Structure 1
Amino acid sequence: MTDYIHAETKGTPGAPLVFTFHGTGGDETQFHSLAEQLWPGAHVVSPRGDVSEHGMARYFRRTGEGVYDMDDLSERRTAMAEFIRSKINVTGANRVIALGYSNGANIAAAVAFEDPSLFTDVIAMHPLIPWTPEPNPGLSTTRWLITAGERDPICPAPLTQSLLSYLRAQNADVAEHWHTGGHELVQSELQAIQDFQT
């Protein structure tokens, strides 16, 4: 099993288990404290991506902006799923939440598409899924929040809409939040997360 460099906060018994996934160039600290604030008492695990792109940490390789190395993504998705499963087994958590931004949202979504049983909730901020995932009826048991910018040059709105349509076709419980800007995170997204998780 891949043993990622990661930050970990041990929570109280019965508390949710929250995984945070950083964006390109981030690290395990990017959203760790945010998760601690959003879910007081939760177990929080924040793995650092183990791919280096010009010195910036990522979760899988790409050959260009929005062009993924799908073979590498498949391998690293499997490795991440094993890491996630091991932490679920240790904590025994019933509620397992993924919180990811950009590249982090993409790896979380890729894991969920393959094995929907791992996460009960997926919060994907500015995801970019440039492929059509296979149908998976198991997604009907998952809750999703997708946040996005209407003018995001990295994650174009039509691809975000395609992801929303895919999830709804799988009967997932889907909420969405849009802001008028681009790829940046804004305060209204934090409010949307707070509203979603209560």
Structure 2
Amino acid sequence: MSTHEYISLTREPASDAPLVFAFHGTGGDEHQFFGMARELVPGAGVITPRGDVSEMGAARFFRRTDEGIYDMDDLARATEKLVSFVEAWTTQLGDRPAYGFGYSNGANILASVMMARPDLFDRVGLLHPLIPWEPAPVPALARTPILITAGRDDPICPWPLTQRLVDWSEAQGASVVTAYHDGGHELRREETAALSQFLRASPAEQAA
């Protein structure tokens, strides 16, 4: 368990501020969401790892064999490694809320981590996730705040699979918030606005 398992950008949290982990999409890196995460939750600790897999030079968090077809063995490896990485940071920086958000490939690895270890994150933002497998039930996600955003015409993340993930999350008892637009795979302003509101909300607002 080490905070050095990934190349990352980091910022220490102020006093009792939360930690925000941000996970980039395919071809992104540790810089993609670092500045945005700092703005979304002022004072928060920010940790943005770079995926350790290269797909023709594009960084990812796990391998795939084709568009939408995942190497499930490598996804399991990456999930275990990222769990260890998050645990190392939360142990080092003490008892404080931990939030995570990811876009595209970053959302997919974050969803896998959330399913494997529902205790790791207090809030989870999944921006354009694609979960092509059928997850097993995770009742420990009950009352966990989850934001899911998507484009209704996203050619990479088909709408029916987005809806299936929303339905699955609600079936676990999670507190699900959604933000959709009529475009494709691009991340739009209304999504980042929804993410900002989601991450900044008080516990009472999250429970409402």
Instruction: State the partner residue of 2:205.
Output: none
Instruction: State the partner residue of 2:57.
Output: 55
Q: How does 1:66-145 map to 2 (within 5 A)?
A: 66-145=68-147
Separation in 1, partners of 2:195, 2:22: 13
Superposed CA RMSD:
1.0
Instruction: State the partner residue of 1:159.
Output: 161
Q: Do 1:16 and 1:93's aligned partners in 2 also have CA atoms closer than 8 Å?
A: no
How far residue 13 of structure 1 moved from its aligned partner, in angstroms, is 2.1
Q: Do 2:41 and 2:196's aligned partners in 1 also have CA atoms closer than 8 Å?
A: no
Q: Do 2:152 and 2:182's aligned partners in 1 also have CA atoms closer than 8 Å?
A: yes
How far residue 193 of structure 1 moved from its aligned partner, in angstroms, is 1.2
Separation in 2, partners of 1:120, 1:141: 10
Separation in 1, partners of 2:69, 2:129: 13
Instruction: State the partner residue of 1:23.
Output: 25
Q: Do 1:15 and 1:93's aligned partners in 2 also have CA atoms closer than 8 Å?
A: no
How far residue 95 of structure 1 moved from its aligned partner, in angstroms, is 1.3
Instruction: State the partner residue of 1:12.
Output: 14
Paired residues, number: 198
How far residue 91 of structure 1 moved from its aligned partner, in angstroms, is 1.1
Letter in 1 for 2:141: L
Letter in 1 for 2:25: G
Q: Percent identity?
A: 51
Letter in 2 for 1:26: G
Instruction: State the partner residue of 1:176.
Output: 178
SS at match of 1:176: strand
Letter in 2 for 1:181: G
Separation in 2, partners of 1:33, 1:17: 14
Q: Do 1:20 and 1:98's aligned partners in 2 also have CA atoms closer than 8 Å?
A: yes
Letter in 2 for 1:150: R
Instruction: State the partner residue of 1:33.
Output: 35
Separation in 2, partners of 1:127, 1:56: 18
Out of 31, 43, 46, the position equivalent to 2:45 is 43
Q: Which runs of 4+ in 1 moved over 4 A?
A: none
| 1:99-154, Cα deviation, whole Å (9 max, x unpaired) | 10000000111000000000010111000000111111111141100010000000
